Structure 1
Amino acid sequence: MGHRARTRRAVLTAAVLATTLTVSLTAGCSHRGRDDDRAPQHTPTPTPTAPPAPAPAVAGSPLAVKIDNVPAARPQTGLGAADVVYAEQVEGGLSRLMAVYATRLPATVGPVRSARESDLELLHQFHRPTLAFSGAQHKLLPLIGRAPLRAESPDRAPAAYYRGAGRAAPHNLYLHPARLLPSPPGKAALTTGFSYGPAPSGGTPTTSRTVRYPAARFTFTWSAGRHGWLVAMDGTPTVTTDSGRVVAATVVVQHVRIHSSRYHDALGNHTPYTETVGSGKAEVLRDGRSFAASWSRPAATGGTTFTAADGSRMNFADGPVWVVFAPAP
């Protein structure tokens, strides 16, 4: 082969190699580009989004707090300052409390626990109340968001809540009520339909009354010295960390229909739904006596009236009222 031929062949070989190398490098860069698309570089760090500020409280609206009362949650805090305490049955036959505050706000309330569907019906009797709760079943949250109330969970109002020391979660979440309500709205906010005044004639002398759920029970024992009913739960006296023994001036055993709701807990247990609209029988304890009564709440927007056996309005004693929702016989 001549010198000129060999030179042309070398040039052609070099060109092929250069072309091959260029294609290879281009393919390699394209592959790395796809990897970079999956993991973008130089993405600015998003600015943390602050939780929404608590909605302003409505004048004349009470504060309702869902309170835990299993043994691990006791003793509770702030329960003795409530104007009304509702006891309801929840999953597994246990119970939970909802304390309503209107005439005074304690410094702290808790432990705070989750809300239930029937709470919304119960709270509808108040004018846009503030509901403090730790959360709810995720399918229930939109319903809470549409309810005529001011829902304030730790997600919405983190500055109002804190975790207490010495207890394991979830029994250690507490609320500073003053960070949700600047001041107590007053007794006029208790649009429960309750009537207060002298006791009716008659009644049966009673020293103690127990209401049982499948896995919980409440006992109320008359104390002449305290002029009220000493509260006990599951056989243990109910005390608070801030005000000692809990005493109710009036206890209402309200017989209602309790059935399964459409919601359930993580274990698959359906949440009981307590119907507080309608009518039925009741028992009212006051002044060391028990009075047969009936209750009526025709619409969710109204309160509940209680009538004595003789047809007169059933008056409650001045002071805290405990309402225990008991299954209708």
Structure 2
Amino acid sequence: MDTRDRARRRRTAPTAALLAVALSASLAAGCTGHGRDDDHRAPHRTPAPASPTAPALAGSPLAVKIDNVPAARPQTGLEAADVVYAEQVEGGLSRLMAVYATRLPRTVGPVRSARESDLELLRQFRMPVLAFSGAQHRLLPLIARAPLRAEPPDEAPGAYRRDTGRAAPHNLYLRPAALLPSAPGGTALTTGFRYGPAPSGGTPAPSRTVRYPAARFTFTWSAGRGGWLVAMDGTPAGTAGGGGPAPATVVVQHVRIRTSRYHDALGNYTPYTETVGSGRAEVLRDGRSFDARWSRPSAAAGTAFTAADGSPLDFAAGQVWVVFVPAA
């Protein structure tokens, strides 16, 4: 078996060794939200050409790191995601990770760099495909060993393009069909979320704002769209194709966000968002807010949400946004 065959087998089938890799707390920090992702090389592997006919990993969703500074807006493809995670990054800014399973848009972006927290968050999925523009060089070896299929531009150049109408680094876009020939389906969403009728109780919530040091999200209920209209830094979130995302459920998840030992070239330390454990949450659906508890016992498990009485708390069918905020 030659080197190319061995590389292809590593890309298409998880091994016991990969699945046993534990994520170290000493993972390196990512690039700044306004840094130069193109300066960082991807994990080294024997490259294989990106092609819509390349073998897909059954049950593997696509996760894409998406830029969220003003210069990156409007984004493309957000409305098609099944789950959108919002995290705090360097300088108090925000970044998104969109997860696709039930449908793949033609284009997603702008694509930006990965963070160490992403590796823990993605452990809940079976060998997810991670599209990202690069990462801090000390993080690259951990990405290469993680139980996921890393697909930055160095590994799949045919899957990416630059939009000459935008300034770098906010102009890198992904063609999902170049990484997966079709959407894997809802069974790939091993998030632990439950969907069903609205629970009783809750309080009316016409809007909810979540603030980071240098960013904010506002979710406003729209009965007409049956979801929450999203505004970022005070500006309604549109998409390049028109309209904008209107998630049926928004989760404000209170987690521990600690400062890592690592920082970017500007001296900004990388926050690490801990998504394993338990804590308080707010679940927004149907124009109401429900107090909840979240629990994720291990990195390989999904996250369960329960109501005040301990019963499972169902989400509304449709897109879910999860915004991680520091626990008090």
- The residue number in structure 2 matching 1:280 is 279
Match of 1:247 in 2: 246
Counterpart of 1:23 in structure 2 is none
Native 8 Å contact 1:80 1:243 kept in 2:
no
Please give the alpha-carbon distance, in whole angstroms, between the structure 2 residues aligned to 1:263 and 1:84. Answer: 28
Letter in 1 for 2:264: D
Q: Deviations over 1:130-175 (max 9, x none)?
A: 0000000000000000000000000000000000121110000000
Q: What is the TM-score normalised by the length of structure 1? A: 0.84
| Structure 2 residue matching 1:192: 3-state secondary structure | coil
Aligned to 1:123: 122
- SS state at 2:291 partner: strand
Residue 160, structure 1, aligned to residue 156, structure 2: no
CA RMSD, Structure 1 to Structure 2 (Å): 1.3
Paired with 1:107 and 1:323, the residues of 2 have a C-alpha distance of: 24
Q: More helix by proportion, 1 or 2?
A: 1
- The 2-side partners of 1:243 and 1:126 are apart by 30
Unaligned runs of 5+ residues in structure 1 are 1-48
Alignment of 1:209-220 (within 5 A): 209-220=208-219
Aligned to 1:107: 106
1:196-244, Cα deviation, whole Å (9 max, x unpaired): 0011110001100000000000000000111110001000000101242
Partner SS for 1:244: coil
> How far has the Cα of 1:108 moved from its partner?
0.1
CA distance in 2, matches of 1:260, 1:58: 35
- Partner Cα distance (1:92, 1:218) in 2: 16
* CA drift at 1:56: 4.2
Q: Kindly indicate whether the alpha-carbon contact (under 8 Å) linking 2:134 and 2:152 is maintained by their aligned counterparts in 1.
A: yes
Q: Give, in whole Å, the separation in 1 of the partners of 2:254 and 2:100.
A: 24
Query: C-alpha distance in 1, partners of 2:127/2:218?
Result: 32
2:9 corresponds to which residue?
none
* 2:201 match: 202
Task: Provide the residue aligned with 1:297 in structure 2.
Answer: 296
Q: Cα 1:50–1:297, aligned 2, differ >3 Å: closer, same or farther?
A: closer
Matched, 1:262 2:273: no
8 Å contact 1:61–1:185 — kept in the other structure? yes
User: Runs in 1 of length 4+ with deviation above 2 angstroms?
Assistant: 49-57
1:172 corresponds in structure 2 to 171
CA distance in 2, matches of 1:262, 1:144: 18
SS at match of 1:119: helix
Question: Which one has the largest radius of gyration?
Answer: 1
Q: Percent sequence identity over matched residues?
A: 80
TM-score, normalised by the number of residues in structure 2: 0.84
Per the alignment, residue 38 of structure 2 pairs with: none
Aligned to 1:147: 146
Give 1:52 shift.
3.8
**CA 1:57/1:263 → structure 2, altered by over 3 Å: closer, same or farther?**
farther
Counterpart Cα distance in 2 of 1:57 and 1:132: 15
Unmatched 5+ stretches in structure 2:
1-44
Residue 261 of structure 1: how far off its partner (Å):
1.8
Residues in 2 aligned to 1:200 and 1:56: alpha-carbon distance in whole angstroms: 42
2:246 maps to a residue whose letter is V
| Equivalent residue, structure 2, for 1:223 | 222
Cα gap change, 1:267/1:197 in structure 2, threshold over 3 Å: closer, same or farther?
same
